[in-house]
Amino acid sequence: MHMTQRDGALDLLKWLALLSMVLDHLRYVGYSVDLLYVPGRLAFPWFCLAMAANLSRVHAVTTDGQWRYLGWLLLFSAISEIPYRMYIPDHNTLNVLPTLVLGLLIARGWQHRMLQSRLLAAGALLLAALFPERLMFGFFGVLLPLAMLLVIHRPWYFSLLPGLVCLAANQWQVLYYAARLHSNAAILGIAACLIAPLLGLLLLRHAQGIRPPPMRRWAYALYPAHFLVLLALRQLIA
């Protein structure tokens, strides 16, 4: 989204979310590195927090910037699906962007009282409830942007709410069962889900002096591009 004054902490959060996502997807390059699952649990909640931070800006309520944001997400949802299916083995969901699209609509519907926004939010919620198995991070993943928006300006301990939503979105039953079998990746993964919102909020509040490279609209292309790069790497080392 266009911002008149760059928020360095927000740009840093986006870069760290991207790095976490790449680390997570490195698990499918060809080597068994289960512990990369742990930093990978930070990526989705941090992208949701970045979305909530954009929504919470005062000027975003009175401009059409969020609709442009929605348009870019829809466009790259379609563009990314083929690279995603080429790279991720045994995929049973769509790529992550449709989840973010529905999450954006629900968060906007909560934030705005206009009938159009409320109807779109209701439709998004209905789609998530009817087809959770087709969405990456499922029904609770769609609710995570709203959970982030509800706590973004509240004291730090409110971050437990999106932490629990994040854990639910990450198949907590599977993680809990694996943790009972003393899987380090599962135990650390549960912890990462619970504390990811808190870490992100602390970063947004206390890293204002940092000025990383701004992440502008071109960054949408990094999502499908990273699948292609990792696919080439997998074929190179095969």
Contact 208, 8 (CB under 8 A): yes
Contact 52, 148 (CB under 8 A): yes
Rounded Cα–Cα distance for residues 110 and 122 (Å) = 10
Taking the chain (238 residues) in runs of 10, the rounded mean pLDDT of each run is 69 98 94 89 98 80 70 96 93 96 96 91 98 97 98 96 97 91 94 98 92 93 98 91
Residue 208: the pLDDT is 82
| Amino acid in position 3 | M
In this structure, what token pair is assigned to residue 170?
A: 């990450």
Residue 172: the pLDDT is 87
Rounded Cα–Cα distance for residues 37 and 187 (Å) = 11
Contact 150, 136 (CB under 8 A): no
Residue 5: the pLDDT is 66
Residue 90: the pLDDT is 83
Residue 2: the pLDDT is 41
Q: Which is nearest to 154 in space by CA: 191, 205, 110?
A: 205
What distances in angstroms separate CA 204 from CA 20, 33, 79, 103, 200, one per listed residue?
17, 30, 30, 20, 6
Residue 12: the pLDDT is 97
Contact 190, 179 (CB under 8 A): yes
Rounded Cα–Cα distance for residues 50 and 56 (Å) = 10
Residue 3: the pLDDT is 44
Residue 64: the pLDDT is 64
Q: Which is nearest to 99 in space by CA: 147, 149, 58, 134?
A: 134
Contact 137, 182 (CB under 8 A): no
What distances in angstroms separate CA 88 from CA 169, 178, 190, 192, 225, one per listed residue?
19, 22, 23, 22, 14
